[in-house]
């Protein structure tokens, strides 16, 4: 049945024939009596290149051709010499991804099981920087047969003749000795002693070569490029594989990669060939925003700490009169133990296995919120400066390993963009509002510049192809004129760094500032037609039921009627539409969901029982929503249907959030309606998110209910995805947006209802030194790899915004009604206000 919310033909869905056909053929392949062994890596040359194909992963300064497209490893039978050159055939190979091997399956020699073939050999595509002149590394090893490892190295120079005595079939390394295929029926003639001696010499030399190659490769457990130009491979450790493999983490822990959806993993540094599921594009393949559906999850509460996601950090203070309710106050309350406690949270809350489980659940993107303190802090800001960068970089490594794309979300900025605790500090809004509103916005542009320079590098742009530049700005606390001018200033900055067109810098995502999405002119949707012609700009709307009219029933079609038509209208009227946050919460029941010590709308006690908000009368008790163990099977099915319907209706979406930490106050997981991981484990979220496609239409049929529908064309305009016309914004639109800084911003009167003339406000000047995030070296044992230098565009030489000598600056969180200090002269010299910048952490070990 066609999904009424968009043309299903324009969406890549799960091909149900793949898994069924895979199961049907297992028995057939198990009946094969011929012994299988690893054949050639049938590579050929990169398309359009006359150079020979490298046969080892290009790492560090030896990097492979970035556009090379090599075929996957194949398995052959040993029965006859003819069979050696014929892959095991598989019916209907077209069901599999076009870059899978032609035979579709491969056999694990240890388990005698057949798996779907891996994508193009994972070491065949490693990004290269345009400024480097690199020489491919080519090694042509002798024949070896592995019974253990998926990782292989071959000559890449074509097949050798079977009559050669030694046949190059690729090399891999396991626990068993490597064996050469030698024709044992050929014996030397006594009458041809000279020939015999020559043969002996050849054999001895060949064995010496084998020994030398094995010695070079197994000398170190890790991989590296030494000055001799030889990549050293680990003996007994896999560097890439598929579902069912045992993964060893950087801490030595092991877990099963339980991906049954055709996903692959690649542990080779800076290699982009992994894919989360079999029908999803690998990182080195094009993501088509008209066709490929983002089904993602947030890693909330990890690098920006929130009480309801990490309640155990706030529980010890909850009985105090004024308990901490944000990361700012928590950092102050922790005192001397702050650095140790916060980093312990970073280190344990999200680990590598989480990324593996995300890919195994049919999800293909992660949205990672970060705060500005990942880059630096200034003045009295109490956050742990720079340390979260180490863990964000780990996230890049893990996302790359499992083929997941990252939407980088700048979640918290100086001054706060909405006054809520997840902006770093609860209280007033000082971003584009109040006496420090312009200075805070200029400072935020510094951080956008730093992050853009990093993620635009070729080593990272395919893993982080999207940048959400500001989370949830509240336009009711700042003027819309000020916000759109800052959006356009950020857009120009990002495009000046990365360039115009697909693949040049990230897809830019702006939040709707709670103005909503949908169709119509400015009266209905302020964002329809905004910056038409802009290059790759998406609109994010956070779709929650929890904070409006409180609900007490699980109605799976509710998301379909609430969001589907609007999402499609936005895809048509604006461009890429997504929900960067949504959840299963029907109401605001939960531990610290509203804030530490606050009540619930559902129980009529919000914000507190003494003076509740009369707009939210009591609906009932929250008890039934707090503990998932009490939910009936019918309730669990209702939640599972609601989750699938939401993913279908929103088209592109990120659930908030992947996991919720434990609380010291209860012996069961808190906030289950916000916990995707728990939903998978407890059965109230389906195990494969890809099955959500078409769910709204199916539910409408099942429950016999009408749906609000709107069908878009199914294809974004070329300019909206970086094609023809991208970046052509008319001058009339630019004039309508206006310059940054705007002439006025809110503030300057009681409750911030007045306005400031921005020329009278303290501003920063572009005289500062650049803030550069350095890639963290990746270490395998004692060997180190690094990618890029943190700065993509060397032509970007303008100074960063910095304080001006002689200017008086208020606290960045000063009230919006604070009187403006004396105006600043932007031609003054830079002051020496102290900054605690990001320092380079120790290398990341893997």
Q: Comparing 60 with 787, which gets the higher pLDDT?
A: 787
pLDDT at 106 over 50: no
Residue pair 119/99 in contact by the 8 Å Cβ criterion: yes
Integer Cα distance of 104 and 111 in angstroms: 18
602 phi/psi in degrees, rounded to 5? -60, -35
Q: What value, to the nearest 5°, has the Cα angle with vertex 243 and ends 241 and 246?
A: 70
What is the torsional sign of CA 816, 821, 822, 824? negative
- The number of residues in the chain equals 846
| Its pTM surpasses 0.85 | no
Tell me whether the omega of the peptide bond preceding residue 741 falls within 30 degrees of 0, making it cis: yes
* pLDDT at residue 155, as a whole number: 29
Q: What is the DSSP letter of 794?
A: T
Residue whose token pair is 């609109």: 539
* Of 97-101, 270-274, 633-637, 701-705, minimum mean pLDDT range: 97-101
Largest CA distance in the chain: 110
Closest CA to 287 of 364, 358, 357, 363: 364
Percent of the chain with pLDDT over 70: 68
Confidence of residue 749 (pLDDT cuts 50, 70, 90): confident
State the pairing for strand pair 246-248/240-242. unpaired
Residue whose token pair is 């030896």: 62
Q: Comparing 30 with 777, which gets the higher pLDDT?
A: 777
The DSSP line for 480-503 is HHHHHHHHHHHHHHHHHHH-SSTT
Selection from 97-111, 525-539, 583-597, 766-780 with the highest mean pLDDT: 583-597
* For range 459-486, the mean pLDDT: 97
C-alpha distances in Å from residue 692, one per residue of 503, 645, 763, 772, 798? 29, 6, 49, 41, 47
Burial class (CB in 10 A: 0-12, 13-18, 19+), 732: exposed
| pLDDT tens by residue, 368-382 | 999 999 999 999 999
Three-state secondary structure string covering 421-476: HHHCCCCCCCCCECCCHHHHHHHHHHHHHHHHHHHCCCCCCCCCCEEECCCCCCHH
Residue pair 434/752 in contact by the 8 Å Cβ criterion: yes
Confidence of residue 747 (pLDDT cuts 50, 70, 90): confident
Confidence of residue 359 (pLDDT cuts 50, 70, 90): very high
Q: What is the DSSP letter of 319?
A: T
pLDDT at 496 over 70: yes
Residue pair 710/519 in contact by the 8 Å Cβ criterion: yes
Integer Cα distance of 554 and 584 in angstroms: 9
Instruction: Specify whether the backbone of 411 is left (phi greater than 0), alpha (psi in -120 to 50) or beta.
Output: alpha
| pLDDT tens by residue, 602-628 | 999 999 999 999 999 999 999 999 999
* pLDDT at residue 837, as a whole number: 61
pLDDT at 185 over 80: no
Query: Helices 327-334 & 338-349, crossing angle to 10 degrees?
Result: 130
Integer Cα distance of 110 and 104 in angstroms: 19
- First vs last Cα of the chain: how many Å apart? 47
Integer Cα distance of 59 and 668 in angstroms: 46
341: enclosing H helix or E strand? helix 338-349
Closest CA to 276 of 395, 369, 405, 368: 405
Three-state secondary structure string covering 67-119: CCCCCCCCEEECCCHHHHCCECCCCCHHHCCCCCCCCCEEEECCCCEEEECCC
Contacts of residue 83, defined as CB under 8 A and 6 or more positions apart, other chains included, come to 34, 76, 77
What rounded mean pLDDT belongs to the chain?
A: 77
Integer Cα distance of 212 and 139 in angstroms: 12
Integer Cα distance of 431 and 442 in angstroms: 9
| pLDDT tens by residue, 162-181 | 333 322 222 222 333 222 33
Domain 295-514+524-589+637-733's class? alpha beta
* Of 147-161, 266-280, 733-747, minimum mean pLDDT range: 147-161
Confidence of residue 826 (pLDDT cuts 50, 70, 90): low
Q: What value, to the nearest 5°, has the Cα angle with vertex 276 and ends 274 and 282?
A: 45
C-alpha distances in Å from residue 383, one per residue of 250, 423, 471? 27, 12, 19
Q: Comparing 519 with 555, which gets the higher pLDDT?
A: 555
Q: What value, to the nearest 5°, has the Cα angle with vertex 107 and ends 103 and 110?
A: 170
C-alpha distances in Å from residue 54, one per residue of 64, 134, 158, 304? 7, 12, 12, 42
Selection from 113-117, 299-303, 565-569 with the highest mean pLDDT: 299-303
Q: What is the DSSP letter of 659?
A: -
* pLDDT at residue 819, as a whole number: 81
* Of 151-155, 182-186, 235-239, 803-807, minimum mean pLDDT range: 151-155
| HSE, side-chain direction, 13 A CA sphere, residue 194 | 0
Tokens of residue 314, six digits: 């706030």
| pLDDT tens by residue, 124-155 | 444 433 333 322 222 222 222 232 332 222 32
Tokens of residue 172, six digits: 């891999």
Residue pair 134/128 in contact by the 8 Å Cβ criterion: yes
* Of 102-116, 525-539, 806-820, minimum mean pLDDT range: 102-116
Alpha helices in 499-627 (DSSP H): 558-559, 565-573, 623-626
* Of 121-125, 680-684, 812-816, minimum mean pLDDT range: 121-125
Q: What is the DSSP letter of 510?
A: E
Integer Cα distance of 809 and 761 in angstroms: 9
Percent of the chain with pLDDT over 90: 61
* Of 63-67, 742-746, 834-838, minimum mean pLDDT range: 63-67
| b/e 19-55 (16+ beta carbons within 10 angstroms → b) | bebbeebeeebeeeeeebbbbbbbbebbeeeeebbbb
Beta bridge partners of 539: 510, 577
Query: Helices 480-498 & 437-455, crossing angle to 10 degrees?
Result: 30
Integer Cα distance of 352 and 339 in angstroms: 22
pLDDT at 724 over 60: yes
653 phi/psi in degrees, rounded to 5? -155, 160
C-alpha distances in Å from residue 842, one per residue of 303, 749, 774, 777? 18, 49, 11, 8
């Amino acid at each position: 049945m066609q999904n009424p919310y968009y043309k299903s033909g324009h969406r890549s869905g799960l091909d149900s024939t793949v898994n069924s056909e895979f199961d049907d053929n297992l028995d057939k392949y198990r009946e094969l009596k011929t012994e299988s062994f690893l054949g050639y890596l049938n590579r050929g040359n990169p398309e359009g290149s006359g150079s020979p194909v490298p046969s080892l992963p290009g790492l560090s300064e030896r990097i492979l051709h970035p556009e090379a497209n090599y075929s996957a490893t194949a398995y052959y039978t040993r029965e006859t010499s003819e069979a050696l050159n014929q892959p095991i055939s598989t019916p209907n190979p077209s069901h599999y991804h076009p870059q899978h091997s032609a035979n579709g399956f491969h056999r694990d020699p240890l388990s005698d099981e057949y798996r779907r073939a891996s994508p193009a050999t994972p070491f065949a595509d490693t990004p290269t920087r345009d400024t480097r002149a690199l020489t491919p590394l080519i090694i042509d090893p002798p024949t070896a047969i592995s019974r253990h490892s998926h990782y292989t190295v071959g000559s890449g120079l074509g097949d050798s003749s079977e009559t050669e005595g030694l046949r190059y079939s690729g090399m891999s390394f396991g626990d068993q000795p490597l064996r050469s295929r030698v024709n044992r029926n050929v014996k030397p003639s006594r009458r041809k002693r000279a020939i015999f001696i020559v043969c002996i010499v050849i054999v001895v030399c060949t064995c010496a070569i084998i020994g030398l190659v094995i010695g070079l490769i197994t000398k170190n457990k890790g991989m590296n490029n030494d000055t001799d130009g030889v990549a050293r491979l680990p003996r007994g450790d896999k560097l890439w594989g598929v579902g069912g493999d045992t993964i060893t983490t950087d801490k030595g822990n092991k877990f099963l990669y339980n991906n049954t959806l055709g996903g692959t993993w690649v542990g080779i540094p800076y290699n982009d060939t992994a894919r989360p599921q079999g029908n999803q594009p690998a990182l080195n393949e094009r993501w088509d925003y008209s066709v490929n559906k983002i089904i993602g999850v947030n890693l909330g509460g990890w690098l920006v700490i929130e009480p309801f996601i990490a309640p155990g950090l706030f529980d010890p203070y909850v009985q105090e009169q004024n308990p901490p309710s944000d990361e700012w106050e928590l950092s102050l309350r922790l005192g001397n133990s702050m650095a140790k406690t916060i980093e312990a949270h970073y280190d344990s809350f999200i680990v590598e296995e989480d990324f593996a489980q995300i890919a195994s659940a049919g999800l293909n993107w992660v949205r990672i919120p970060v705060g500005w303190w990942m880059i630096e802090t200034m003045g009295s800001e109490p956050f742990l400066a720079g340390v979260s960068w180490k863990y964000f970089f780990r996230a890049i490594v893990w996302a790359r390993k499992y083929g997941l794309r990252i939407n980088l979300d700048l979640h918290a900025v100086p001054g706060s963009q909405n006054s809520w605790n997840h902006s770093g500090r609860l209280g007033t809004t000082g971003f584009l509002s109040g006496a420090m509103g312009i200075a805070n916005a200029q400072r935020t542009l510094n951080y956008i510049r730093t992050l853009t320079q990093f993620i635009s590098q070729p080593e990272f742009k395919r893993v982080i192809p999207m940048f959400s530049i500001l989370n949830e700005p509240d336009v009711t606390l700042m003027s819309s004129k000020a916000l759109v001018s800052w959006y356009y200033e950020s857009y120009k900055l990002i495009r000046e760094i990365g360039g115009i067109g697909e693949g040049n810098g990230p897809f830019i995502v702006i939040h709707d500032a709670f103005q909503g999405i949908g169709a119509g002119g400015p009266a209905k949707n302020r964002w329809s037609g905004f910056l038409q012609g802009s290059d790759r700009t998406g609109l994010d709307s956070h779709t929650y039921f929890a904070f409006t009219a409180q609900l007490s029933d699980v109605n799976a079609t509710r998301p379909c009627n609430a969001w589907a038509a609007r999402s499609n209208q936005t895809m048509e009227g604006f461009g890429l539409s997504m929900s960067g946050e949504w959840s299963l919460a029907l109401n605001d029941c939960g531990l610290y969901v509203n804030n530490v010590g606050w009540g619930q709308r559902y129980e009529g006690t919000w914000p507190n029982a003494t003076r509740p908000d009369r707009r939210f009368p009591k609906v009932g008790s929250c008890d039934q929503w707090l503990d998932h163990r009490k939910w009936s099977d019918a309730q669990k099915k209702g939640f599972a249907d609601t989750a699938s319907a939401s993913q279908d209706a929103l088209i592109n979406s990120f659930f908030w959030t992947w996991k919720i930490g434990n609380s010291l106050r209860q012996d069961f997981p808190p906030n289950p309606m916000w916990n995707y991981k728990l939903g998978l484990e407890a059965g109230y979220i389906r195990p494969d998110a890809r099955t959500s496609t078409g769910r709204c239409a199916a539910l409408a049929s099942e429950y016999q209910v009408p749906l609000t529908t709107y069908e878009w064309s199914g294809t974004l305009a070329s300019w909206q995805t970086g094609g023809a016309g991208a970046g052509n914004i008319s001058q009339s639109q630019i004039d309508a947006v206006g310059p940054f800084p705007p002439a006025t911003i809110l503030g300057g009167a009681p409750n911030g209802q007045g306005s400031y003339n921005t020329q009278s406000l303290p501003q920063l000047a572009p005289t500062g030194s650049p803030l550069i995030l350095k890639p963290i070296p990746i270490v395998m044992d004692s060997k180190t790899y690094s990618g890029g230098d943190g700065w993509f565009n060397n032509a970007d030489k303008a100074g960063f915004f910095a304080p001006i000598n002689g200017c008086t600056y208020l606290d960045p969180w000063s009230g919006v009604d604070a009187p403006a200090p004396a105006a600043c002269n932007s031609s003054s010299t830079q002051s020496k206000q102290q900054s605690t910048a990001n320092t380079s952490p120790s290398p990341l070990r893997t």
